[in-house]
Amino acid sequence: MKAVTIPEFGDAGVLRADTVPIPVPGPGQVAIDVAYAGANFAEVLYRRGVVDVPLPFVPGIEVAGYVRAVGEGVEDLWPGRPVAALTIVDSGGYAEVAVTAADLVAPLDGLDIGMGTAAALPSNSTTALLVLDRVARIAPGESVLVHAAAAGGVGSQLGQAARLLGAGRVVGTVGSAAKIDTAKGFGYDEVILRDRLADAGQFDIVVDMVGGPTRRASLDRLASMGRLVIMGNASGAEDVGVPANELWFTNKTVSGFNLAAFAAAHPDETGRALRRAVAAAAKGELRVQVEALPLERVAEAHRRIEAGATTGKLVLDVAAL
């Protein structure tokens, strides 16, 4: 089958259209004929070698398509069934066929949701629900601050998920003024420039996927009993230490979340969150703004993601190969 591989770590130019063996589902797994694969910051990190993966590597943490075959013990999925799925544990989504655990699949039949949109949901919408519900344990009326609120990825989902889960004030930050209006369309009450964070007030929950100075500034924005969730380092900055004694003196909590590790350790719960996200999207409660590119333009997708230039979610049209 055709796939895009990472033959060596490097810039977007290393991505290569390749022919690789068709993967076969093992017990509890499902093979999917991929229609669209989501393009994510995570795959940029794999390509750069920030996450050490075995080479050559087929990236791709999420897909939408049709079940091709099921492994032993899989009962509720069958060939031809339309699905969205997380392929995040072993990757492999940038390909004509991807294999994943049946637990990490959401059926799409009966839902008013297109394949391109469905491919944009598994990583970011599931993450948004898990981060706010499971990690931050959001309570009704709590205030939430989210960084990179206009990016088409996880920032576009966290504000809407906060609203869905009963949040009070929901504020987003963006890196440039040009992104303010886009972020407002993703469920934020207010959108501010990240360098004005000091004036933003205090929050029960802050979600940081930018890192560097933003991480320290995020801690300063926490109210008493507030929770900071660290879930990324899009700025590529050096790691920022957590001042443990300060947490003790100020009644603040810092948590981390990583969907790949969570899905590997808690596939049942991840699958439930995925199906909840897909159902919410079908009802219009989680909106994604999707731009499709043919898979052969994957390098362009990566370059736009690493330039911080996306305001919609990029998905790769695999059928157009």
In the complex, least distance from residue 42 CB atom to ligand NAP, rounded to whole angstroms: 5
Joined together, the tokens standing for residue 127 give 């993450």
Q: Rounded to whole angstroms, how far apart are CA atoms 317 and 11? A: 22
Which residue number, 253 or 258, has a Cβ lying nearer to ligand NAP?
258
Which residue number, 32 or 150, has a Cβ lying nearer to ligand NAP?
150
How distant is the alpha carbon of residue 71 from its chain centre?
A: 27
Evaluate whether 194 touches 174 at the Cβ level (below 8 Å). yes
* Position with the least CB separation from ligand NAP: 153
Which residue number, 148 or 318, has a Cβ lying nearer to ligand NAP?
148
In the complex, least distance from residue 233 CB atom to ligand NAP, rounded to whole angstroms: 6
What is residue 12's three-state secondary structure?
helix
Is residue 112 exposed (0-12), middle (13-18) or buried (19+ Cβ within 10 Å)? exposed
Q: Which residues bind ligand NAP (CB under 6 A)?
A: 40-42, 123-124, 127, 148, 150-155, 174-176, 179, 209-210, 231-236, 257-259, 305-306, 308, 310
Which residue number, 110 or 307, has a Cβ lying nearer to ligand NAP?
307
Residue with token string 């398509």: 65
In the complex, least distance from residue 173 CB atom to ligand NAP, rounded to whole angstroms: 7
What is residue 2's three-state secondary structure?
strand
Angle separating helix axes 41-48 and 298-306, nearest 10 degrees = 100
Which residue number, 235 or 255, has a Cβ lying nearer to ligand NAP?
235
In the complex, least distance from residue 120 CB atom to ligand NAP, rounded to whole angstroms: 10
In the complex, least distance from residue 210 CB atom to ligand NAP, rounded to whole angstroms: 5
Which residues, in sequence order, are CB contacts of 133 under 8 Å at separation 6+? 165, 273
